[in-house]
Structure 1
């Protein structure tokens, strides 16, 4: 009887691009994006680093691939949502769009490093484009012209995929600690720096004193990007787009 495979002992013949990418995602989830190197991934798979190049051309190809893995996971999660019925009222687009974006965000919260990689991609492959296409379909159901859809995508920006790009990003805040320790350390250091500049930036210091960025629910992807802040921004954008779409109908 063949014994079950253990990590790092699989024969080379069992290695595929899909398995390489799945292992890369697991490694980044566990140890952070900074730990995802060709050498460390080869160690994870129990092979020589050069063997990886049969499946991924280079580090950029690896990052493109892990984005696709996460995008497919997002697509699968969205596919489990109840579809918007053809005869649903126009107004249903907003609820359906909000639900889809928050579903995508839930996936990113399981892969906290993924938003950092998404921000660096110069091209998007089919899984990501299909996700955006489904959002366009929801907006078209809401009566959006293609011109307004185009504006909407620009307005949503990274929120369409479930994360907010930070206005201020302390060094190391998204460096990829699996447990969030690097983010917390960078947050504390940035706050301490601002406190030292209290006389020069009094409004910023007062705001930090009045507002806590710690939600304690594991819903943070960036320095200040907790769930309530993400949803606040998303709702403002969707409310404004809904008014514009309604205006197009008259």
Structure 2
């Protein structure tokens, strides 16, 4: 007697599943290629089925931003040592951008602050205030550190994709033909020998050491 295996049940659609699939699609194929039709095909459903959970593509992209911030929140728990908490927040933000380079620009371009971002920020601000940091300073310092982390990470991503910038390269790639050798040597050291990870930690350390209640 020949038996046939029953078809594997399809996981039900949810907003979370759709958003996670969108992040994976963008990671794999790039942001420009994302469409509701293509995402539906990835999930093996018709595109119209997605609209029960996301209002439109803009809403979907807002969900992607929320998912990125959820990764930051999960990796950067606040601690009683607020400086270390701020450090972990900056590192988690940078690592999330590096993990999702094709989607990272949405963090700024979508113009939203999703709940995971707000919860994470509130937790770190609360920890700093409990340690005696005035609330206005706690916000200003975390805002500055977040801008630093996000800006350097987006630059890393841009330069890593071949766009112009001060990235590790040989002098011949960094300067125009005919530039004097002594100036080419400056480019070789200043940019060509740069270490983005070490540079980020240096800047972050300087910022954290330089602030006090």
Question: Which of 124, 131, 138 pairs up with 2:113?
Answer: 124
Give the alignment partner of residue 201 of structure 2, picking from 194, 212, 231: 231
Structure 1 position 196 matched with structure 2 position 149: no
State the 1:213 CA deviation.
Answer: 6.3
Larger RCO (CA under 8 A, 6+ residues apart): 1
Question: For the Cα contact (< 8 Å) 2:36–2:57, is it kept in 1?
Answer: yes
Selected match of 2:132 from 125, 128, 143: 143
- What are the Cα deviations for residues 72-128 of structure 1, in whole angstroms up to 9, with x where unaligned? 23222334xxx635xxxxxx3222321343234334432223431101132212111
Distance 1:36 1:3 in 2: 29
Unaligned stretches of 5+ residues in structure 2: none
Q: Which moved more, 1:227-236 or 1:149-158?
A: 149-158
Aligned with residue 59 of structure 1, among 49, 57, 60: 57
Partner SS, residue 186 of structure 1: coil
User: Over residues 160-211 of structure 1, what are the superposed CA-to-partner deviations in whole Å (9 max), with x where a residue is unaligned?
Assistant: xx43257979xx938xxxxx6xx0x3359x9878623875xx96x5543113
- Match for residue 93 of structure 1 among 58, 73, 82: 82
The answer to whether the 8 A contact 2:26-2:34 is kept is yes
- Structure 1 counterpart of 2:40: 42
For residues 197 and 148 of structure 1, do their structure 2 counterparts lie closer, same or farther at Cα, with a shift above 3 Å needed?
farther
Aligned-residue Cα RMSD (Å) equals 3.4
Query: How many pairs were matched up?
Result: 203
TM-score normalised over the length of structure 1:
0.66
Instruction: Sort the Cα spacing of 1:84 and 1:165 in 2 relative to 1 into closer, same or farther, 3 A.
Output: closer
Distance 1:173 1:40, change over 3 A: farther
1:106-117 paired onto structure 2 within 5 Å:
106-117=95-106
State the partner residue of 1:208: 187
Distance 1:112 1:138 in 2: 30
